[in-house]
Amino acid sequence: MFPTWRITSAISTIRRGPLQAALDLASWIAVLGLPAALIGLVVTAGSPSAATEPIVGLLLLVAPVLIAVWLWVWRVSQLAGKGFDALQDIETSRLILRRPEPKDAPSLEATMDDAMLSGSGWTERDGSALIKAIGRSHPTPGLFVIEVRSSTTVIGGATVHRTGDKTSCSIGWWIGPEHRRAGYASEAVSALVNAIHDAGYPSVYIGTKESNLAVLRICDKIGATEMDRRPQPLPDGSTVPGIWYVHERVVTGST
Ligand SMILES: CC(C)(COP(=O)(O)OP(=O)(O)OC[C@H]1O[C@@H](n2cnc3c(N)ncnc32)[C@H](O)[C@@H]1OP(=O)(O)O)[C@@H](O)C(=O)NCCC(=O)NCCS
């Protein structure tokens, strides 16, 4: 099936930062154009005939541009894949969960320590791809930065993903090392779960390692219930015991 969502994502990137998008595209074309030019020269030198000229022309001009544009589209849309973008900013008593802006990239990067990567099942590459995407205004649907309202300090992030059915989403989150153990995750997650329910999704899934006691505690505090235990694959190829929770919207019937 034609990936129209990738094209939509790329168009949105161009709208958000036309200059940055043009520079990105130009660098992709330059990177691919040079080897293509070398191949063209080799082909021409090897069989200098009129018959090879159109092929050389194609290699030199059209193909690298098309490939570069497609690779750029692929890259900017990569993070957008399953992100859930139907939520507005969320405010709690101390925090705001909002869409990232390019200026957030350095402060969000500072929240990504080893514990964050391992707790979220991310590689360093995943983390730096996300930071680059934010810095370049690429769309990152489903990603929120968590900011302290009083100081406007970015202290962490949260992700919301579609699960494939129309009644549920899955979430993940982290808080930077300097701000842990202050109740921020509990506050942010509780509000995020409610916002997802308010958006019409009765079930919110949370998956973590069995050893992540903070997440188990947060799930308990917000009233999520254990759903499943199964091995959780990690980016390095290993697996750890994983645990899945679901938070269901409680519907109180009127009497
Ligand atoms: C998990 C994480 C988000 C918790 O953030 P936090 O802001 O410190 O959490 P809170 O302060 O709201 O604490 C929630 C509960 O967990 C407990 N807790 C926090 N860290 C804990 C730890 N390392 N070990 C055991 N319990 C812990 C707190 O005491 C609190 O329980 P309480 O209310 O009964 O006192 C944070 O440690 C983190 O970012 N870790 C790395 C990334 C990660 O694991 N993300 C989760 C992926 S789903």
The rounded distance, in Å, linking the Cα atoms of 232 and 155 is 27
Contact status, residue 31 vs residue 67, Cβ threshold 8 Å: no
pLDDT number for residue 227 = 96
CA 183 to ligand 1 center in whole angstroms:
8
The rounded distance, in Å, linking the Cα atoms of 232 and 235 is 10
Name which residue leads in pLDDT, 155 or 162. 155
- What is the DSSP pairing of strand 203-209 with strand 168-175? parallel
Q: Does residue 254 have a pLDDT over 60?
A: no
Q: Does residue 255 have a pLDDT over 50?
A: no
Residue 208's contacts (CB-CB under 8 Å, 6 or more residues apart) are 119, 215, 216, 219, 242, 243, 245
Give 185's DSSP letter.
H
Helix (H, G, I), strand (E, B) or coil at 73: helix
Range with the poorest average pLDDT among 50-54, 71-75, 160-164? 50-54
CATH superfamily, region 90-248: Gcn5-related N-acetyltransferase (GNAT) (3.40.630.30)
CA 220 to ligand 1 center in whole angstroms:
12
CA angle at 142 for the pair 124 and 77, rounded to the nearest 5°: 70
Name which residue leads in pLDDT, 242 or 19. 242
> What are the sequence ranges of the domains in the chain?
4-78, 90-248
Ligand 1 atom with the smallest distance to the CA of 207 is 48
122-135 mean pLDDT: 90
125-147 mean pLDDT: 90
167-179 mean pLDDT: 96
- At 71-119, the pLDDT tens digits run 888 877 766 666 777 899 999 999 999 999 999 999 999 999 999 999 9
Q: Does residue 195 have a pLDDT over 50?
A: yes
CA 216 to ligand 1 center in whole angstroms:
9
Question: Which residues does a 6 A CB cutoff place in the pocket of ligand 1?
Answer: 115-116, 119-120, 172-175, 180-186, 208, 212-215, 217-218, 221
Name which residue leads in pLDDT, 62 or 3. 62
User: Could you tell me the maximum CA-CA distance found in the chain, to the nearest angstrom?
Assistant: 88
CA 245 to ligand 1 center in whole angstroms:
16
The rounded distance, in Å, linking the Cα atoms of 24 and 27 is 5
Residue to substitute in 97, 147, 180, 220 for testing ligand 1 pocket (most ligand atoms within 8 angstroms of CB): 180
CA 214 to ligand 1 center in whole angstroms:
3
Name which residue leads in pLDDT, 71 or 184. 184
- What is the DSSP pairing of strand 239-248 with strand 95-98? unpaired
- pLDDT range class, residue 163, cuts 50, 70, 90: confident
The rounded distance, in Å, linking the Cα atoms of 99 and 16 is 13
Which residue, judged by its Cα, is nearest atom 18 of ligand 1? 214
Q: What pTM did the predictor assign?
A: 0.80
Residue to substitute in 154, 186, 209, 247 for testing ligand 1 pocket (most ligand atoms within 8 angstroms of CB): 186
CA 180 to ligand 1 center in whole angstroms:
7
- pLDDT range class, residue 70, cuts 50, 70, 90: confident
The rounded distance, in Å, linking the Cα atoms of 225 and 170 is 14
Ligand 1 atom with the smallest distance to the CA of 184 is 7
CA 250 to ligand 1 center in whole angstroms:
24
Percent of the chain with pLDDT over 90: 51
Buried b (16+ CB within 10 A) or exposed e, 129-163: bbbebbbbbbbbbbbbbbbbeeeeebbbbbbbbbe
Q: What is the mean pLDDT of the chain?
A: 87
Name which residue leads in pLDDT, 27 or 81. 27
Sheet with 90-91: strands ordered across: 90-91, 95-98, 143-148, 153-162, 168-175, 203-209, 239-248, 225-233
